[in-house]
Amino acid sequence: MEHVKLIMIKYFATFVLLYLVLGIAYGLTTSQIFFVSLISLALYFLGDLFILDQTNNFIATFSDVVINFIVIYLLLDVVGFAGDRLIAAFISSIVLGFYEIFFHLYVTEEFSYEHEPISIGRYDYLMELSEEFEPFIDDEEDDYY
């Protein structure tokens, strides 16, 4: 059930952000944005469930930005976008990347992806390797310590 809720949140946010960038700024229709959002929703399973589980938020967000850029760039050609696809895909993927930062924090909290940090333990074995600087000559002097 958590997946359904997360998919709905991600789809709605992706649709709204893509509508702001591609719909208002570049003039794409709502049905075209619906199609691009639906296809980019398939990235939920790759980026948010697989990459985020294995790595951290930064790497998962960066990979989502790159994958979103590639997918949106290719889909803008499919829907017949007449403008500059490179700039439109870049701006869209950056805007979605800012959203993904916070969405990954929510996904991490929902699924408890917190991993134990890898312990790079320092084993400080202390041992004395030198002789005393002022050795006691007489055993009777040991009493005052």
Length of the chain: 145
CA quadruple 80, 19, 57, 109: dihedral positive or negative?
Answer: negative
Residue 134 domain-assigned?
no
Separation of alpha carbons 90 and 69, rounded Å: 6
- C-alpha distances in angstroms, 130 versus 16, 93, 135, 145? 71, 63, 12, 20
Is residue 125 in a domain?
A: no
Residue 107 has a pLDDT of 84
* pLDDT score of 82: 81
Instruction: Please state the pTM of the whole predicted model.
Output: 0.71
Residue range 48-52: average pLDDT?
80
Structural domain of 95:
2-111
Is the pLDDT at 40 greater than 60, yes or no?
Answer: yes
Measuring CA to CA, which residue among 26, 21, 11, 144 is closest to residue 93?
A: 21
Q: Average of pLDDT values for 14-31? A: 90
d(CA 106, CA 2): 11
Span 86-145, pLDDT tens digits: 999 999 999 999 999 998 888 888 776 555 555 555 655 555 555 555 655 665 555 555
| Mean pLDDT for the stretch of residues 21-33 | 89
Determine what percent of the chain is predicted with pLDDT higher than 90.
23
Residue 80 inside a domain? The answer is: yes
Kindly state whether residue 135 falls inside one of the protein's structural domains. no
Number of domains in the chain: 1
User: Phi/psi at 48 (nearest 5 deg)?
Assistant: -90, -30
Asked, for residue 121, whether it belongs to a domain, the answer is no
